[in-house]
Amino acid sequence: MEQTFSQRFDAYQPSKTLWFWTVVCAVVLTMIVGFTAGGWTTAGTAAEMAKTSAIKAKAELAANLCVQKFITASNASDNLAKLKETSSYQRDSFISDGGWVKLAGINKDVPGAADLCADKLSAMDTIPTNSVAQENTKS
């Protein structure tokens, strides 16, 4: 008489070698899935990601301040027209030379801020009139 599947399953006794390699394969498979699809990172990768995020955030903040300084200047409309006439690869130099990307207390320009500022300003059609009026009333 032949044994049923459940009887054979109950009677099965795997060796220690088979258990060892099964556990090793399960660990390796878990690590592969975790690092590729699970979003796991090493400490070095996490530190690099944090550093990159901090640099981008600093550039974004400086660019926003640059845009504010640019649009509240007295000749903002003329400067915007000049900026739009400038070739795209020289716009960051135009912004840096104009001093809009300079921040008080910081000697050097923030890396990437001039490019972001130029991109934001280039996307504008006109200078918002309320920003110039608000700045003039503060003075």
Banded pLDDT at 58 (limits 50, 70, 90) = very high
- The predicted pLDDT at position 126 comes to 81
- Degrees (nearest 5) of the Cα angle 67, 108, 72? 20
- The predicted pLDDT at position 19 comes to 94
The token pair that represents 78 in the structure block: 């003329």
Q: What are phi and psi of 86, to 5 degrees?
A: -75, 140
Banded pLDDT at 106 (limits 50, 70, 90) = confident
Distances (CA, A) of 18 to 24, 38, 49, 96: 10, 27, 40, 67
Cβ–Cβ under 8 Å, residues 83 and 122: yes
Helical H segments across the chain, by residue range: 5-11, 16-36, 43-71, 76-85, 91-98, 113-122, 129-138
Widest distance between CA atoms in the chain: 102
Q: What is the pTM of this model?
A: 0.66
